[in-house]
Amino acid sequence: MSPDKTEPVARSKGPKAKVALLVETSRSFGRELLNGIARYCRENGQWSFHISPGDYEHTVPLMKQWGGNGIIARIPNSKIAKRILEADLPTVAIGLTDEQLQPDSPLHGLSEVSSDAVKVSRLAADHLLDRQFTRFAYVGSSDRGWSSRRETAFVEHLGKKGYEPWVYSPPKSARARAWENEQGTLAKWIARLPTPVGLFSCDDDRGREVLEACALAGLRVPEDIAVIGVDNDEVFCDLSDPPLSSVALDVESAGYHAAALLDGLMSGRIKKSRIIRVEPKGVVTRRSTDIVAVEDEDVAAALQIIHRDLARDVTAEMVIQEVAVSRRNLEKRFREVLGRTILEEIQRVRLGHAKRLLLSTGYPVGRIAKLAGFGSIGYFIQFFQKRVGTTPARFRQNSQGS
């Protein structure tokens, strides 16, 4: 299988294709995937859907009776895998496990929607590195193939920079992994980590559990442990305590391309299986990583001022005045600790915030310029183009079209 961006299929008029969607809708990943599938159908001809958020065992055996033509599904266990294979219909799988991807697995030949583990993990690692952490940890889930791939990518990326992250090993038995039993185990492991530490959790669900374990261990987030997840389920992240930073994924685009791929498989135009990659859009920063881990107290105070209110038009002079040290002294220590000046750090933080707003909101460019602390839209566009190589509008358009 090879990564692919599948183009829409030119369909001739005829009966609607009947497609089963075996996708959980309790989290934003599934809902956004369905949004992308729906968008493809609006643009390229309607399908008739059978939607099953959870009752897969009941749905799959009825596919042939229903007269189904194709399936887009997560395959959580061998029983569901067997029934999907018995249906013998064009299928696009969602996030196959490492075991299911093995050459001897009957699912090995299926097309798949899969996140880019390397890009996701690098974004998370770089986010923590930008906050000056020098200690790192990873907490994953033992029953998710993408979790182990994210772990590997996170460890390898930080290893190249001279760091060796601590990696949590989940309990082996299903009973011990039940959250009411595992919570204490994870809390004890977290309590043994040296602080401050930047922790990457495999997804937002696991991130919420990490936050609960931190509270049980009596550790402060983000002062002792900064935590970042994946998926950016906005409601879920905002309701976490504290709100959880997360890597946002372009799931809707992946759903669109998955639908185009299934259309091609059903029509016979596409003969071989392909991979649709879910690309990361960027990190949405919330309270769980809203800190800079710097031992120099004055530099740390200055960084907190810069990060505290990103919409405020902060200047180097304002930072120096609030910290109450000489400009020469603070600039020297900034260069020693961060390798850049106070102004360069202000500009870097503003630009990063502007990028996140462009990717995660539909706000007009003028409002983003204001929210990111740029004085005017004209200056913002000029500065952005000089640093990024394109305008804010094109940056957003290119990211949404990837």
Domains and CATH numbers, the chain: 18-115+251-278 (3.40.50.2300), 117-249+284-289 (3.40.50.2300), 297-400 (1.10.10.60)
Q: Does residue 254 sit in helix, strand or coil?
A: helix
Phi, psi of 275 (to 5 degrees): -110, 130
* Average of per-residue pLDDT across 358-378: 88
Lowest mean pLDDT among 58-67, 74-83, 278-287, 377-386: 58-67
What is the pLDDT confidence band of residue 237, given thresholds at 50, 70 and 90?
very high
Lowest mean pLDDT among 75-79, 198-202, 268-272, 346-350: 75-79
* Average of per-residue pLDDT across 295-318: 83
Q: Give the helix/strand (H/E) hosting 197.
A: strand 197-201
CA 238/CA 31 separation, integer angstroms: 18
pTM of the model: 0.76
Q: In the predicted model, is pLDDT for residue 334 greater than 80? A: yes
Q: How many CB atoms lie within 10 A of CB 36?
A: 22
Lowest mean pLDDT among 16-30, 45-59, 230-244, 287-301: 45-59
Q: What is the DSSP string of 374-389?
A: -S-HHHHHHHHHHHHS
Number of H helices, E strands in the chain: 18, 12
CA 242/CA 111 separation, integer angstroms: 38
Beta-bridge mates of residue 158: none
Token digits of residue 161: 């920079």
Lowest mean pLDDT among 51-55, 62-66, 170-174: 51-55
Q: In the predicted model, is pLDDT for residue 272 greater than 50? A: yes
Burial class (CB in 10 A: 0-12, 13-18, 19+), 10: exposed
CA 252/CA 362 separation, integer angstroms: 15
pLDDT value, residue 1: 46
pLDDT value, residue 247: 95
Token digits of residue 190: 């977290």
Q: What is the pLDDT of residues 56-107, one digit of tens each?
A: 555 565 666 777 889 999 888 888 888 888 888 999 999 888 888 888 999 9
Q: What is the pLDDT of residues 103-159, one digit of tens each?
A: 899 998 899 999 999 999 999 999 999 888 999 999 999 877 789 999 999 999 999
Distances (CA, A) of 64 to 32, 52, 58, 72, 98: 27, 16, 13, 15, 29
Q: In the predicted model, is pLDDT for residue 246 greater than 70? A: yes
Q: Does residue 18 sit in helix, strand or coil?
A: strand
Higher-confidence position of 2 and 153? 153
Distances (CA, A) of 120 to 2, 19, 170: 19, 30, 21
CA 155/CA 164 separation, integer angstroms: 7
Q: How many CB atoms lie within 10 A of CB 255?
A: 29
Greatest alpha-carbon span in the chain = 79
Q: In the predicted model, is pLDDT for residue 361 greater than 70? A: yes
* Average of per-residue pLDDT across 346-371: 87
